Amino acid sequence: MTFEFSLQTAILCTLGSSLILAATFLYLWRTDAQRFLLYWSLAFLAQALRMGAQLAVTLGVGAAGLVADLLFALAALLIWHGCRLLADAAPRIPPAAAALAVALLWGAWAGSAELSFLARTLPLYAIAGGLLIHAGAILKRLGDRQPGIGYRPLAALFVLLGVHYLDYPLLRPVPWFAPVGFALAAVLMLGIGIMMLIITQRRQQAQLRELTATLRAEMAERRASERRLQASEVRFRGIFEGVAGIAVQGYDPDRRVIYWNDASARFFGYRREQALGRPIDELLLAADERAAFRAGVDAWLAGGPAPAAGEFALRRDDGSIIRVYSTQVMISNLAGEPEIYCIDLDLSEIHRLQGELREYSERFRAIAESSELGVVVADERGNFIYCNSRYLALSASSMDEVRAGRWIEHLHPDDREPMRARWREAIATRSGFTMERRVIAADGATIWARAHIVPIHAEDGAFRGFVATVEDISALKEAELALRLSEAKFSGAFHASLDYVTLSDLESGEIYEVNEAFEQLTGWTRAEAIGHTAAELGIWPDATARDAAIARLREQGFLREHPIRIGTRDGRQVDGLLNASLIGVDGRQYLLGVVRDITLQKQAEEALRRSEEKFSRIVHYSPAALAITDAETGVVVDFNRAWQELLGYTREQVIGRNSREFGLWFDDAERDALYRKLADGNGELDRYECRYRRADGTAVYGLISGRLFDIGGRGCYLWSVTDITLRHQLEQRMAELNAELEARVAERTAELQRAQDELIRSEKLAALGALVAGVAHELNTPIGNSVTVASTLHERTQEFAGQIDDGLLRRSALNAYLDAARTASDLLLRNLDQARNLVTSFKQVAVDQTSDQRRRFDLREVVGEVLMTLSPTIRKTPFKVAMEIPEGIVLDSYPGPLGQVITNFVTNSLVHAFDGRRRGQVVIRAGVPEHGQVVMTVEDDGVGIAEEHFRRIFDPFFTTKLGQGGSGLGLHIVYNIVTRVLGGRISLDSRLGTGTTFMLTMPLCAPSAEKDPA
């Protein structure tokens, strides 16, 4: 083993200098207790140990290299951390230690892997060099803040050493660089240590200078304090000598009086010369109190607690007692000896004021507790210091909650922050406020209260706090809510009413409010009407009528269904019914008027009157004998001239009496049989033969027909009587002569048959009346055509038979005959089918409510089935029929009559709606049922119906195509079925050129057929 003198020498020098620096910094740390000194001492110790390990490496101990690297990393970390502590920077040991640990592990692995020296040592030396360079940067910043200490040179040495560590892995393999590198590192480390010592010394010198300056400042302050103390004593004596209301006595540890001001002489009666030098307890205390006083003072002088300040009863020179509030203070005089001073306040005036205050407080408390208002007193900061029991109830709080400020937690959540804001503003501005708030009671009820807060100011204007009163306004709020609800209801009813409503002044007639119905009826807008009188607007055309109505209103206080005429803006006059009442507000009377427009009602009444008059004329002037009886009582309501001429009774004998009372029947059994037959026919009777008694007692035989119908809501029977007395007499006569004329029967049969046919035709004509005249032309055309075709076919058939008999039949003749036969058959079928349809329609004119089976059915299915049966007819036209009916609309009604209605509507539309057009559409719709009713519409986009035809559209035999295939019975049949069988109603809406809509409103459950009593 060889000894490398130069390298080992450098290592030993570095080891020695490091130990010296470590010991030096350890000493400095023990004397100064600065933590950075400890870390620097440990760093140089680690450096010395590293040098020892490095020396072992040079001597051939290879394992010492890892120890040397570890100690090298530790030395660099400790130096860097010590610099951070010196600069008062936050410690960050874990990240740096982790980086060094990773570098050490890399070096160990690289050594085992026999990597190059550069690859093995570069990470460790790079991190260590970086730490030293960062330490230099820290010291550089510290030197900028504290120049003159030496931080900047030390920072430069750290940077140089760090740079040296960075180039060490690159130059270490160079043989000549090893001793130079160690020597350079030793020099730099030594320089760093010396600079550290210099910095430490300069820091201590700076601290010493600061301490010296501090001591000098304290000494100057103490001398100034002594001067201030002397001046304060002078001022103290001057103040207490000049204060008349404060008695001050001073005594020494022997309790002898050393100070007695003028106020003490006035309080206790002793002059100053009498009091000085005497024991204070003998002057002012009773004999039995002196021992306790002396013991307390001795204990205080011995370091015990000071006597408590309080109220005392002291003796005066004349033996009287004065009550004072006394406080004792111990001070040291300039000689450092203790002196005790008593400061006394005369409580006599205070006691008097306290008595008055108690009296005022009791009065205030009595007033507050008996008040219905909640009363609160708060200090300058808004803290509640008093409240009465009424306030606790109104705030739903306890006294503890009020004093703690938690009363606000019982407010409604929406009122808490506004209340806090108002209080903050009141405290800041020392002003009051008024606010309504809601309190949530324990049972969940809401208490409305109005708080009125007022600031309190003393006589000198000083602010002393607040006083607040709280009023329960729940009843007022409930009344306001009820008033708002009432006003809302009145306004809603006022403006939603379909009748004309106005509110006006009774005396002046000035209008204050009108509703929409007023605008629609009169034509005057709300803005135009308000502020004007009804007379100015011309609403009362007749001023006398208004005066009479107002007079009656004043007399009765109301008007009910008072008929009036209203003038409109365009000059029309409208019939109406006035309902009015008086409203009194603040001593004034207002008129609330409601007017219902009855113009349409009057028009309907007039139309009904004309219709009834027309019907009455038809009845009275009809050649058939007609009578009307009440369906329930059988009383005769009316009869016509033909009935009177047939039976001979006067109106006085018959009207208001039933048939039994005026002896119409020979036998009541015949009457009973008639009504049984009527009941079996569900209110309808046709050509029932019976016998009546004339007024002269003779018998009249007739064929009776009866129908139940409604007159003004009253069920009545319409009876028609066809006189067959002559026929009956002839039949009797024929029966009597039958035996005698047996031989002549064959001869006279044809004549009798013709007579009988003539009678039957006469009876039919009498029964059908206008029906025959209306349908004759319609039936004549198809039947006449059929007869013509049949006769032509008959002639061709005879010609054809003749050709066969003569043997001249040829194929062309046969074909011609067959073509003629086919043509004739088609013509016969079409004309006879038209006649059959007309006859069927005629039979439907009088609809029987029970003529069809009643059952439950789906509306969509029934309408669909009807349209399916009509599809062949519809396909022959260029028009379309559509259905828009939702499923699930179930009716308990008569599907047969309903199907007839649909058929008539569709047929009527195809025939009339699209005249002159090549296309069009019919749509059948139904909506969702409401209130037990279903609305079905049949709408087309055809030519429409003229308005003058609206009133007659449902009349029998009314058609715009008379002679062109229209019978005029289709819509009449529809009307009867809808109103009588289905229990509904039908309406029409049409405009020329835009189409027609029929609207049917039917109950989901059709009314049951009822039998009217006789």
The predicted-structure confidence for 705-714, as pLDDT tens digits, reads as follows: 888 877 767 7
Identify the pLDDT of residue 973: 85
> Any residues with CB less than 8 A from the CB of 860 and at least 6 apart, and which?
883, 885, 886, 887, 889, 926
Strand partners, 434: 452
Region at 531 (left for phi over 0; alpha for psi -120 to 50; beta for the rest): left
What would the mean pLDDT of 590-601 be, rounded to a whole number?
A: 82
Identify the pLDDT of residue 1014: 32
Residue 846 confidence (pLDDT) above 60: no
Neighbours of 506 (CB within 10 A): 17
Between 196 and 575, residue with greater pLDDT: 575
Largest CA distance in the chain: 194
CA 971, CA 988: separation in Å to the nearest integer?
Answer: 11
Bridge-based pairing of strands 636-639 and 880-884 is unpaired
DSSP states along 322-374:
EEEEEEEEEEE-TTS-EEEEEEEEE-HHHHHHHHHHHHHHHHHHHHHHH-SSE
pLDDT band at residue 232 using 50, 70 and 90 as cut-offs: low
pLDDT band at residue 218 using 50, 70 and 90 as cut-offs: confident
Q: Give percent of the chain with pLDDT exceeding 90.
A: 10
Identify the pLDDT of residue 984: 93
Answer yes or no: are the C-beta atoms of 235 and 243 closer than 8 Å. no
What would the mean pLDDT of 641-669 be, rounded to a whole number?
A: 85
Return the minimum-mean-pLDDT range out of 350-364, 366-380, 548-562, 651-665. 350-364
The single residue listed with the structure tokens 């050509």 is 687
The predicted-structure confidence for 312-329, as pLDDT tens digits, reads as follows: 889 998 888 888 888 888
> Any residues with CB less than 8 A from the CB of 595 and at least 6 apart, and which?
499, 500, 501, 502, 521, 564, 566, 576, 577, 578, 579
CA 322, CA 181: separation in Å to the nearest integer?
Answer: 98
What would the mean pLDDT of 759-774 be, rounded to a whole number?
A: 40
DSSP states along 583-626:
EEETTEEEEEEEEEE-HHHHHHHHHHHHHHHHHHHHHHH-SSEE
Residue 7 confidence (pLDDT) above 80: no
The predicted-structure confidence for 486-518, as pLDDT tens digits, reads as follows: 666 667 667 767 788 888 888 888 888 888 888
- Helix, strand, coil shares, percent, the chain, to 5: 55, 20, 25
Return the minimum-mean-pLDDT range out of 273-277, 656-660, 750-754, 792-796. 750-754
Residue 660 confidence (pLDDT) above 60: yes
> What is the gyration radius of the CA atoms in the chain, in angstroms?
66
pLDDT band at residue 700 using 50, 70 and 90 as cut-offs: confident
What would the mean pLDDT of 84-88 be, rounded to a whole number?
A: 77
* 755 residue type, one letter: A
Tell me the two tokens of residue 397. Answer: 């709080």
Identify the pLDDT of residue 730: 79
CA 371, CA 592: separation in Å to the nearest integer?
Answer: 44
Residue 310 confidence (pLDDT) above 90: no
> Any residues with CB less than 8 A from the CB of 529 and at least 6 apart, and which?
502, 511, 514, 518, 519, 522, 537
Tell me the two tokens of residue 874. Answer: 């519809």
Tell me the two tokens of residue 43. Answer: 């760093």
Identify the pLDDT of residue 882: 93
The dihedrals phi and psi of 34, each to the nearest 5 degrees, come to: -90, 130
Answer yes or no: are the C-beta atoms of 698 and 666 closer than 8 Å. no
What average pLDDT is seen over the chain? 80
Between 363 and 661, residue with greater pLDDT: 661
CA 641, CA 648: separation in Å to the nearest integer?
Answer: 10
Identify the pLDDT of residue 838: 58
pLDDT band at residue 965 using 50, 70 and 90 as cut-offs: low
pLDDT band at residue 758 using 50, 70 and 90 as cut-offs: low
What would the mean pLDDT of 766-775 be, rounded to a whole number?
A: 41
Residue 141 confidence (pLDDT) above 90: no
What would the mean pLDDT of 554-576 be, rounded to a whole number?
A: 85
> Any residues with CB less than 8 A from the CB of 375 and at least 6 apart, and which?
368, 386, 387, 388, 390, 391, 467, 468, 469, 470
Identify the pLDDT of residue 850: 40
For helices 151-171 and 117-145, angle between their N-to-C axes, nearest 10 degrees: 170
Q: Is 557 exposed, middle or buried (0-12, 13-18, 19+ CB in 10 A)?
A: exposed
Identify the pLDDT of residue 344: 86
Q: DSSP E strands: which ranges in 946-1013?
A: 985-991, 995-1003
What would the mean pLDDT of 929-952 be, rounded to a whole number?
A: 90
Answer yes or no: are the C-beta atoms of 693 and 722 closer than 8 Å. no
3-state secondary structure of 993: coil
Bridge-based pairing of strands 995-1003 and 384-387 is unpaired
pLDDT band at residue 217 using 50, 70 and 90 as cut-offs: confident
Range of 44-53, 88-97, 654-663 with top mean pLDDT:
654-663
What would the mean pLDDT of 817-835 be, rounded to a whole number?
A: 81
Identify the pLDDT of residue 769: 45
pLDDT band at residue 418 using 50, 70 and 90 as cut-offs: very high
Minimal CA–CA distance to 213: which of 203, 224, 205, 201? 205
pLDDT band at residue 764 using 50, 70 and 90 as cut-offs: very low
Residue 997 confidence (pLDDT) above 90: yes
Identify the pLDDT of residue 925: 95
Identify the pLDDT of residue 963: 55
pLDDT band at residue 761 using 50, 70 and 90 as cut-offs: very low
Residue 288 confidence (pLDDT) above 80: yes
What would the mean pLDDT of 602-607 be, rounded to a whole number?
A: 72
What would the mean pLDDT of 864-880 be, rounded to a whole number?
A: 86
Residue 693 confidence (pLDDT) above 50: yes
Between 165 and 949, residue with greater pLDDT: 949
pLDDT band at residue 796 using 50, 70 and 90 as cut-offs: confident
pLDDT band at residue 756 using 50, 70 and 90 as cut-offs: very low
CA distances from 33 to 26, 36, 673 (A): 10, 9, 142
The dihedrals phi and psi of 865, each to the nearest 5 degrees, come to: -65, -40
Between 157 and 279, residue with greater pLDDT: 279
> Any residues with CB less than 8 A from the CB of 255 and at least 6 apart, and which?
279, 280, 281, 294, 297
Between 871 and 415, residue with greater pLDDT: 415
DSSP states along 895-955:
HHHHHHHHHHHHHHIIIIITTT-S--EEEEEEPPPBTTEEEEEEEE-SS---GGGGGGTTS
What would the mean pLDDT of 763-788 be, rounded to a whole number?
A: 56
Tell me the two tokens of residue 814. Answer: 């046969």
Identify the pLDDT of residue 236: 60
Answer yes or no: are the C-beta atoms of 925 and 871 closer than 8 Å. no
Identify the pLDDT of residue 219: 78
